Structure 1
C-alpha cells in the first residue's frame, strides 16, 4: 500500500474501481434507513469525499449521519485517525456547521511538522464507533482478505459493522434519495440534487467532467511519462474551456431574464437554473484548482481566477452564498495533504503559501 497511485506500463494514471456498492433503502434486507446508524469517514483534502460532505449538509443530514475526519497526511499505511475514543465531538455532530468552523485561523497550519496531530480536531478527529486508528481497519473488519487501497469516502454501518459503500457518486445519490427524509426538517426534504427533468443532462455533464476534469487533473499530475502528461493536461484545459462556454451561455440567458446580479446568481448553475449534483461534483475539483492543481499537478496553462471569469464567478457564488460549500472546504487540509503526502511529486514537502487569498471574495 506504499504507492499512493497506480500507473500502467506506459506511465498513465489508473484509478481504482470502488469495491463496495450497496445502498440504503427500506427494501434493502440489511441496510435500512435509520438515524445515527450510519457513519461517514472522510478526508477534507479529498475531492471525492468532499462531494459527500456537501450533500450531507444540503440534505440536512448532519444530525442523522455522523462524520469522522482522517488526518490530512497520508503515510505508507494510508489514512489515519486520532487515537480512539468513545466520546462524540459536537463539532462533527452539529447540524449547524457541517464539519468545519467558519472562524478557524487558517494561518497557522503551514508551520506544523509532517505528521503533527497536536491540533485536536483540526488535523483529524477520532473514531467513536470502533475506536480504530486506521481507515484500513474498517476494510479488514468488513473483509479480512481485502487487498486493494483504503479509500475515502467510506459509509459505515455501525449496527452490522460493515461497509455500505465507498463510491462517492453512489453515496451522494443515497443521501439525495430521500430515504432519510423522516429524520430531517421539511426544508431539506424539498432539496433534490437530481431532479427527473434534468437527469439526462446531469448524467451527460457528469460523465465528461469526471473523465476529463475531475480525474483529468490526477491523470496529469500522476503521469510518469512526459508525453502522457502533455496530452492529459491539454485535455483538462480543453474541457475547462467547454465548462466556461456553458457557464457563459447560462449567465447570458439569465441576464435576459433578471435585471439584478443577485437574482442572476440565485439561478447560476451548471445544469439548468437550480443547484444539482453537477455543481457539487464539479465544485470539489475547481475549488482545489488554483491552490493545488496548478502548481502540484502542473495544470498551469491558466488559473481559474485569472483565466476563466465565468467559472470563477460560479465558484465564488457557491462558496460565498451556500454554507454547505464554504463550511466543508478546508484549504489547510487541501494544501497540506497534496504537498506533504505525495513525496514523489514534492520530495521536500514544502507547502506553497499561495495563492492569496485561497478564494476571491464575491
Structure 2
C-alpha cells in the first residue's frame, strides 16, 4: 500500500489522523472519456476515439471497482477489442505488482514490475494513489481514465459500432437514468465505499457510523428486492453490477475483515438470491475469483490483519438456485 509523490513511490497507509479516524477515498485523477468519434466527454480532453485494439485495461481480480469493468467488457463483447493485464493479488510495500514470469499476472504492454510505473509513464510527476482499473491508450501512451464508474459507461456505449459488440445491450437506458443515478448515489456512499469506511476507520465512532449506514442500506435493498427482480426497472442495469461486486465479496471478506458483522449476505433472503441470480448470468462467473479476492485483502492489508493469515472459509455456493425468476424476465 502506498502512493506516488512527485513521481516517487512511498510506502504509506491511508492517513486517517487528519480526518478524525474517518476513511476518505481519493478522487480519480484521470477523467478522459473514450467516445465513438473521439469528441470530448463530460470531463477531460477529447481525442480518445473508440477503436479496436487501441485500449488496454489494467485490473485486479480482487478489486471490486476493477471487477465492474471486467463484467462490462465480458457482457458487451469487448474482449477482442480491449486487451487486459491483471496485477498480482498481493499489494504490499510496492503497491499493485506484476509478475513478469507469470503470464496470468504480467504487464503485457511494457513488462513493468509495478503498477506505479504505468502511472509515471503517463505522468512522470504524478502525485496520488495508484489504483485499478486503469484504462490505457496505446496510441497516445497515456491513461485515458482510472475512474471505474466512467469506464463502465464508456464500455456500455462508446464501442457499439465495433464488430461483435452487443449494441442492443444497454445498462444505462435513458428512461431509467434518473433512478439509476439515485440508487447508485446511495449504494456508492453507504455500501460500495461504506464497507471501506467501516474497515479502514481508526476511530470507534467513525466505524460505527459507517456500520450503521451500511446495514440501513442493506435493509433498504433487501426490502426493495422483495418487490422486484432488479434494482431499477425490469432489466439489469449498471446499478445492479455496481452493487454486485460488493455483495460477492461481502461474506468472504467484508463481514470479518472489515468488521461488517451484523449478518452475512447469505442471511438476507432477497439479497442472497439476487446475488446468485447475477452471478449466474452467462459470463459473469468467469470474472469472479474468490481465491484472489481473499488473498488480496487478508495478505495486503497488514494494518488490519498483521498475521496475513487467509481464512479457509466460508463455504459459498453461488450456483445454487436463486428463485428470482418468480418476478419474470
TM-score, normalisation: structure 1: 0.81
CA RMSD of aligned residues (A): 1.4
Does residue 281 of the first structure (1) align with residue 235 of the second (2)? no
Does residue 40 of the first structure (1) align with residue 57 of the second (2)? yes
Q: CA deviation at 1:32?
A: 1.0
Q: Which deviations, in whole Å up to 9, do the C-alpha atoms of 1:102-147 show, x marking residues without a partner?
A: xxxxxxxxxxxxxxxxxx44xx422221221211111101111101
Structure 1 contact 61–184 (Cα < 8 Å) conserved: no
- 2:277 aligns with one of 304, 317, 340: 317
Structure 1 contact 53–328 (Cα < 8 Å) conserved: yes
Q: CA deviation at 1:325?
A: 2.1
Specify the alignment match of 2:208 in structure 1. Answer: 230
Q: CA deviation at 1:21?
A: 0.3
Q: Which deviations, in whole Å up to 9, do the C-alpha atoms of 1:36-57 show, x marking residues without a partner?
A: 1100000110000000000111
2-structure distance, mates of 1:205, 1:239: 10
> Unpaired runs of 5+ in structure 1?
85-119, 251-267
Structure 2 contact 180–232 (Cα < 8 Å) conserved: yes
2-structure distance, mates of 1:361, 1:6: 42
Q: What secondary structure, in the 3-state scheme, does the structure 2 residue paired with 1:14 have?
A: coil
Q: 1:136 to 1:37 in 2, by over 3 A?
A: same
Specify the alignment match of 1:20 in structure 2. Answer: 30
Specify the alignment match of 2:156 in structure 1. Answer: 176
Which aligned pairs between 1:240-259 and structure 2 lie closer than 5 A?
Answer: 240-250=218-228
1-structure distance, mates of 2:28, 2:246: 19
Specify the alignment match of 2:185 in structure 1. Answer: 207
Structure with the larger RCO, 1 or 2 (CA within 8 Å, 6+ apart): 1
2-structure distance, mates of 1:341, 1:272: 38
2-structure distance, mates of 1:5, 1:36: 36
Structure 1 contact 212–235 (Cα < 8 Å) conserved: yes
Judge which range, 291-300 or 134-143, deviates more. Answer: 134-143
Q: CA deviation at 1:5?
A: 3.0
Does residue 344 of the first structure (1) align with residue 303 of the second (2)? yes
Specify the alignment match of 2:6 in structure 1. Answer: none
Q: CA deviation at 1:326?
A: 1.0
TM-score, normalisation: structure 2: 0.89
Specify the alignment match of 1:136 in structure 2. Answer: 116
Q: What secondary structure, in the 3-state scheme, does the structure 2 residue paired with 1:232 have?
A: helix
> Unpaired runs of 5+ in structure 2?
3-10, 40-45, 322-329
Structure 2 contact 134–145 (Cα < 8 Å) conserved: yes
Structure 1 contact 12–225 (Cα < 8 Å) conserved: yes
- 2:72 aligns with one of 46, 55, 59: 55
- Paired residues in the alignment total 304
Q: What secondary structure, in the 3-state scheme, does the structure 1 residue paired with 2:298 have?
A: helix
Judge which range, 224-233 or 37-46, deviates more. Answer: 224-233
The runs of at least 4 consecutive aligned structure 1 residues that moved more than 3 Å come to none
Q: CA deviation at 1:360?
A: 5.8
